[in-house]
Structure 1
Amino acid sequence: MERYKDLLAQKEQLEKLIAEAHEKEADAALERVREAVAEFGFTPEDVFGKRRGKGRRAAAPKYRNPETGETWSGRGRAPRWIKDQDLERFRIKE
Structure 2
Amino acid sequence: MASYKQLTAQLEKLHKEVAAAREKEVAQAIADIKQKVAEYDLTAEELGFTSQPKPARKSAGASVAKYRNPKTGETWSGRGRSPAWLAGKNRERFLIDL
* Bin of the TM-score, shorter chain as denominator length: 0.5 to 0.7
Structure 1: gaps (5+ residues): 60-72, 76-83, 85-94
Structure 2: gaps (5+ residues): 63-73, 75-98
| Alignment TM-score, normalising by the size of structure 1 | 0.54
Q: What letter is aligned with 1:74?
A: G
- Cα deviation 1:29-53 (Å, max 9, x = unaligned): 0000000101111000112355332
- Cα deviation 1:17-76 (Å, max 9, x = unaligned): 0000000000000000000101111000112355332x43276xxxxxxxxxxxxx938x
Identity %: 33
Aligned to 1:13: 13
Poorly superposed stretches of 4+, deviation over 3 Å: none
Q: What letter is aligned with 1:57?
A: A
**Alignment RMSD (CA, Å):** 2.9
| Alignment TM-score, normalising by the size of structure 2 | 0.52
Q: What letter is aligned with 1:22?
A: R
Aligned to 1:40: 40
Higher helix share: 1
In the alignment, the residues of structure 2 paired with residue 48 and residue 5 of structure 1 have an alpha-carbon distance, to the nearest angstrom, of 48
Higher-Rg structure is: 2
In the alignment, the residues of structure 2 paired with residue 34 and residue 58 of structure 1 have an alpha-carbon distance, to the nearest angstrom, of 37
Matched residues, number: 63
Change (3 A) 1:39 1:49: same
